[in-house]
Amino acid sequence: MKRREFITLLGGATAWPLAARAQQPAMPVIGFLNGNSSEAGAPLLAEFRRGLNEQRYIEGENVMIEYRWAGGQYDRLPAMAAELVSRQVAVIAAGSPPAARAAKAATSTIPIVFTSGGDAVQLGLVSNLNRPGGNATGISFLIDELSAKRMSLLQDLVPNAGVIALLLNPNFVDFSDQVKGAQDAARSIGLKLEVIGARDEPDIDAAFARVAELRAGALIVTSDPLMLTHRDKIIGQAASHALPAIYNLRAFVTAGGLMSYDASVSDDYRQAGTYVGRILKGEKPGDLPVMQPTRFELAINLKTAKALGVKFSDNLLSLADEVIE
């Protein structure tokens, strides 16, 4: 074989696999839009990936994920959603109502899978829970039912609390629903409720000063990425004021909070990952019903209870899904 023919053959053999690789389909990209900080949202992200894996999608192997974390600063979410749309992601996974609303406002064509408290229809995310239509579906649960249960648990633990404080973020999209749900629950069992707002981290210190002025006997911390992002500060303030508190996530209890009650958020995020995988396989979000949680979790921290001087009844301990000693 002549030298020129050999070089031509060699060059063709090298070019062929490059050309073949170039013809392979591009890896789909998921936009992950979340109101939490990356640190606070890490356990939830792990569950989301687990749901994806169940659909045979593995990050870095056959799917990519672009992350946008707002760290409780909701005004950042619209720009973040617009970035993901301009990136032409295949689907947007939106965690929390503010992220879901931002994604919905940014696109009417890219599929959206949300995890959201509150009424998804009332929030404008879907037109119907069973057949959502449009480009969005996900997991949603009602705030009122959870508020009533948290109030009841707190009353059982601190029956002599004359005033219960409710700490929440007025910038949260379903602020009014959270307030109404808590007020209705307090009224039904004859408790006095004081609503205290915190829009950012500096507001948290002022909120606890207000709690002390009111001589509140217990505290409810609502579902909100701002609260989760600053959970260490909130737990520390509750401890320094010797204030029994109930939270919306188990993550607060594992970090030193007294107790929590909520839908299993880990289940919600795993289901969101499953829905994203199904959409990547070709299913339409409008045909996937909005799911509601079937499992709820009560977590208790006995070490914190001892430090606060409160005692859980044997009955309440028996109902707990997790007891930290």
- Between CA 208 and CA 198 the distance in angstroms is 10
At 142, the pLDDT band (50, 70, 90 cuts) reads low
Tokens 């307090």, residue located: 186
Same domain, 254 and 149: yes
Does 45 share its domain with 55? yes
Confidence of residue 18 (pLDDT cuts 50, 70, 90): very low
Alpha-carbon gap, residue 231 to 115, rounded angstroms: 20
232/268 same-domain check:
no
Residue type, 42: A
State whether 117 and 176 are in the same domain: no
Q: Is 19 contained in some domain?
A: no
Q: Does the pLDDT value for residue 7 go beyond 50?
A: no
Domain assignment present for 24: no
Position 41 scores a pLDDT of 87
Residues 97 and 82: their CA atoms lie apart, in Å, by: 16
pLDDT of residue 160: 86
Whether 274 and 212 map to the same domain: the answer is no
Dump the DSSP string for 286-306. Answer: GGSPPB----EEEEEEHHHHH
Residues 100 and 219 in one domain: no
Residues 104, 77: one domain?
yes
Report which DSSP code applies to 132: -
Average pLDDT over residues 225-238: 90
Confidence of residue 28 (pLDDT cuts 50, 70, 90): very high
**Residues spanned by the domain of 176:** 143-263+297-324
In a domain, 302, yes or no: yes
Does residue 23 have a pLDDT over 50? no
The interaxial angle of helices 143-157 and 175-188, nearest 10 deg, is: 40
Does residue 2 fall inside a structural domain? no
Given the DSSP bridges, would you call strands 29-34 and 192-197 parallel, antiparallel or unpaired?
A: unpaired
3-class secondary structure, 6: helix
Same domain, 238 and 176: yes
| Domain presence at residue 280 | yes
Residue 14 pLDDT > 70: no
Residue 61 and residue 203 in one domain: no
Q: Residues 131-137: what's their mean pLDDT?
A: 94
Tell whether 1 is covered by a domain.
Answer: no
Say which range, 14-28, 41-55, 64-78, has the weakest mean pLDDT: 14-28
**Residue 309 burial (CB < 10 Å; 0-12/13-18/19+)?**
exposed
| Residue 68 forms part of a structural domain | yes
Least confident residue range of 245-249, 261-265, 302-306:
261-265
pLDDT above 90 covers what percent of the chain?
58
pLDDT at residue 144, rounded to an integer: 57
Of 10-19, 87-96, 233-242, 296-305, the one with minimum mean pLDDT is: 10-19
Taking only the tens place, the pLDDT of each residue in 60-104 is 999 999 999 998 888 999 999 999 999 999 999 999 889 999 999
Chain segment 255-273, per-residue pLDDT in tens: 999 999 988 888 889 999 9
pLDDT confidence of residue 85: 98
pLDDT at 207 exceeding the cut of 90? yes
Q: Give yes or no: residues 113 and 198 share one domain.
A: no
pLDDT at position 165 over 90: yes
**What confidence category does residue 25 fall into, taking pLDDT thresholds of 50, 70 and 90?**
low
Residue in the block written with tokens 């037109």: 127
Residue 245 has pLDDT above 90, yes or no: yes
CA distances from 133 to 97, 288, 290 (A): 18, 9, 10
What is the CATH classification number for the domain harbouring 161?
Answer: 3.40.50.2300
Contacts 24+ apart (CB under 8 A), 208-216: 208/237, 208/238, 208/240, 208/241, 210/165, 211/165, 211/167, 211/241, 211/243, 212/241, 214/163, 214/165, 215/162, 215/163, 216/161, 216/163, 216/164, 216/165, 216/243
The pLDDT-based confidence of 150 (bands split at 50, 70, 90) is confident
Other beta carbons within 10 angstroms of residue 42's beta carbon come to 11
pLDDT at residue 209 greater than cutoff 50: yes
* Domain match, 37 and 152 both: no
Same domain, 111 and 188: no
Please count the structural domains in the chain: 2
Length of the chain measured in residues: 325
Q: Does residue 12 fall inside a structural domain?
A: no
pLDDT the model gives residue 143 = 62
pLDDT at 72: 84
Q: Which two tokens stand for residue 13?
A: 């053999």
Assign 6 a pLDDT band (cuts: 50, 70, 90). very low
Calculate the CA 125 to chain-centre distance.
Answer: 16
**Average pLDDT, whole number, for the chain?**
87
Return the higher-pLDDT residue of 150 and 1.
Answer: 150
**283: exposed, middle or buried (Cβ count in 10 Å: 0-12, 13-18, 19+):** middle
Most confident of 17-21, 190-194, 255-259: 255-259
